[in-house]
Amino acid sequence: MNKTVYIPKDFSASAMGVDKVLAEFYKEINKRQIEVEIIRTGSFGICWLEPLITIDVNGVRIAYGPVEESDVASLLDANILSGGEHPLKIGPVSDIDYIKNQERLIFHRAGFTDPLSISDYQQHGGFKGLQRALEIGSKAILDEVINSGLRGRGGAAFPTGIKWKTVYDTDVDQKFIVCNADEGDSGTFSDRMVMESDPYLLLEGMIIAGIAVGATMAYIYLRVEYPLSAEVLGNAVQLLYEKGMLGKNILGSDICFDVEIRIGAGAYICGEETSLLESLEGKRGEVRFKPPLPAIKGLFNKPTVVNNVVTLASVPVILEKGGAYYKDYGMGRSRGTLPFQLAGNIKQGGLVEKAFGLSLNEILYDFGGGSASGRPIRTVQVGGPLGAYIPESQFDTLLDYETFAQIGAMLGHGGIVVFDETVNMANMARYAMEFCAIESCGKCTPCRIGSTRGTEIIDKILSGENTELNLNLLDDLSTTMRDASLCAMGGLTPYPVMSAIKHFPEDFNI
C-alpha cells in the first residue's frame, strides 16, 4: 500500500506557507523515487501549528508541524512516512489537547478528510442527516430543528426552527434558501473553514432546509475576500450535480434543489440579511425596513430563509442524531455547540468547537495559552467589530448568549479577538466609529452621520478639548445610534465605543 501524506488546503495554512511545503514534498518525492501519495485535506483549525501535515500510520493520523519548506528533506530522512521521530513530531492529532478537549459536532471531519471527496464524506458520516430528512419529510424536520434549540449562528441568535416554520407556513409558488457566507467580522473564520474543509456539510444542510420549507432554489452569498472558499465550494456544487444530489429528483426522490454561488464585492454591510438580499438582487446593499421579514417577503419578494453558514452546517447532525441529542449540549437557552474562534494576540489561535457554557478564562488560557506576545491580556472583543470590549475582571463570564447580554456584551458569531496590555483603547474606540463610517450603507441618518460625528468627538476628547462636555455628547450620540439606527451596524457600533470608555477611562485621559 502506498504511503500517504495529508497536506491541508486551507486559506490560513496557505498564509503560513503550505503551498511552498507542498511543492517541496513533490520535489523531494521525485528526487528520492519513492511511492508516496499526497492528499489535500481541510484544516484541523489548529492554526498556531500550521502548516500542519499528517501521516496515516496504522489508521492513526500522526501530526508534524509547523512545517517549513526547509524541513521537508529532514522529515523524509526521519522516515515520517512510518511515523518516525523528528523535532516537529507532535503525535496523534486526536491526542492533541487542543483537539481532544473540544466537542466537535460540526467540525469532526475537518482536517481528516479530502473536502471534495464524496466517498470520504460518506465514510465519515456524511449525508446521514439528508437521508433521514428525505424519509421523514418537512413537518418532522421542522420539529427536529425546533426541538434542537438551534439559534442563528451569524450573530443575532434567532431560533432557526421558528424562522423555517414561518417560511414553511407561507403558501406561494417560489421560496428561497439563502446562505449568508459574507463572514466580515474581524476575528471570525468558522464559516470559511466549513466551506474549505467540509463543503458538503454546508450543502447537505442547505438541501435539508430546502426540503423543510419547500424551497427549490438556493443562493450562497460568498464574500470576495475568500477566493479559496469560492474554488472549493464551486467544485463541491459541481460534483454534487454530477452525482445527482443537486438538481432535479435528488437521489431518485421528487425533491428538486438548485444551488448557485454569488460573490459579494467587499461591503461589510452585506452580512446584514436584508442588505444581502438587495445585493443578490443586483442592487446597492442598502438595508431594508423590517417588517416585512425576509421569511415573509425576502429575495425577489418571495419567502426566504436566510441562514449563516455555521447554522446550516449544524443542521445535518441534528437530523442524523435528533434534536434531543443536539440540545443535550449547552446551557440555558444556548443549546448545542459553537465553533469559537481564537484570534488576534493569542498564543494558540484557531478554532475551538465547544458546547456553550465554558468561561472566557477557560478558552483564553486553557485553549489559547495566553497572549502571543507573552504580555498580560488586557481585553478581548467578542462578536466582531460591533461587539463590546470586555476587561479582564469579567473573564469569568460564561460563553452563553444571555450571560453575555447581561454584561452588555454580545457573543455573536463566536469570534474572540485578544489584545495585550499595549493596546490603546481610545484608538480602538475611534476605529469602531471610523469603521462604521466607512461601511455604513447610508440609508439611515444615525448610522451615516452619527459615525462620522462620533469619530470627530473622540478626536476632540483625545486632544483634551472640553472633555466632559464631549463625553456627554458622545454618550448622547451613542444612545441615538443605538435606539434609532435601522440595523445592527449603527445600532451596535456604540457598544465597543462605550465599553472602551467604561472599562478603560485612563486611555481617554479621564
Q: Which residues bind another protein (CB under 8 A)?
A: 11-12, 14-16, 47-48, 50, 183-189, 192, 224-227, 262-268, 279-285, 300, 341-346, 349-350, 372, 381, 385, 415, 417-420, 423, 428, 431, 435, 438-439, 441
**Which residue pairs, CB below 8 angstroms and at least 24 apart, start in 242-250?**
243/118, 245/127, 245/207, 246/203, 246/207, 250/134, 250/207
SS3 of 334-386: EECEEEEEEEECCCCCEEEEEECCCEHHHHHHHHCCCCCCCCCEEEEEECCCC
Question: How many other CB atoms are there within 10 angstroms of residue 87's CB atom?
Answer: 9
Cβ(224)–Cβ(263) under 8 Å?
yes
Q: Shortest Cβ distance from residue 248 to another protein (Å)?
A: 19
Between CA 480 and CA 475 the distance in angstroms is: 9
Task: Give the span between the Cα atoms of 448 and 452, in whole angstroms.
Answer: 7
In the complex, minimum distance from the CB of residue 178 to another protein, in angstroms, rounded to a whole number? 11
Q: Which is nearer to another protein, 343 or 444 (CB)?
A: 343
* CB of 492 closer than 8 Å to CB of 412: no
Residue written as grid cell 504580555: 375
Q: Which residue has the cell 458622545?
A: 474
Q: Give 78 or 193: the residue with its C-beta nearer to another protein.
A: 193
Closest separation in Å from C-beta 467 to another protein: 25
Q: Which residues of 36-45 are buried (b: 16+ CB within 10 A; e: fewer)?
A: beeebbbbbb
Backbone angles phi, psi at 177, to 5 degrees: -105, 130
Give SS3 for 505: helix
Q: Which is nearer to another protein, 129 or 350 (CB)?
A: 350
Closest to another protein by CB, 12 vs 311, is 12
Least distance from C-beta 132 to another protein, angstroms?
A: 32
Report in angstroms how near the CB of residue 507 gets to another protein at its nearest: 14
Cα–Cα distance measured from residue 57 to residue 51, given in angstroms and rounded to the nearest whole number: 19
The least distance separating another protein from the CB of residue 417, rounded to whole angstroms, comes to: 5
Q: At its nearest, how many Å lie between another protein and the CB of residue 227?
A: 5
Cell numbers given for 172: 406561494
Q: Which CB, 121 or 219, lies closer to another protein?
A: 219
Phi/psi region, residue 336 (left: phi>0; alpha: psi -120 to 50; beta: rest), is left
Least distance from another protein to the Cβ atom of residue 419, Å:
5
We find the least distance from the C-beta atom of residue 382 to another protein, in angstroms, to be 11
CA 280 vs. chain centroid, Å, equals 21
Q: Which is nearer to another protein, 280 or 409 (CB)?
A: 280
Pairwise CA distance, residues 459 & 261, whole Å: 42
Comparing CB distances to another protein, the nearer of 345 and 403 is 345
Q: Give yes or no for a contact between 264 and 182, defined as CB atoms under 8 angstroms apart.
A: yes
Q: Name which of 26 and 465 has its Cβ closer to another protein.
A: 26
Q: How far apart are CA 457 and CA 437, in angstroms?
A: 13
Nearer CB in complex with another protein: 222/317: 222
Beta carbon of residue 202, minimum distance to another protein (angstroms, whole number): 15
Whichever of 154 and 184 has its CB closer to another protein, that residue is 184
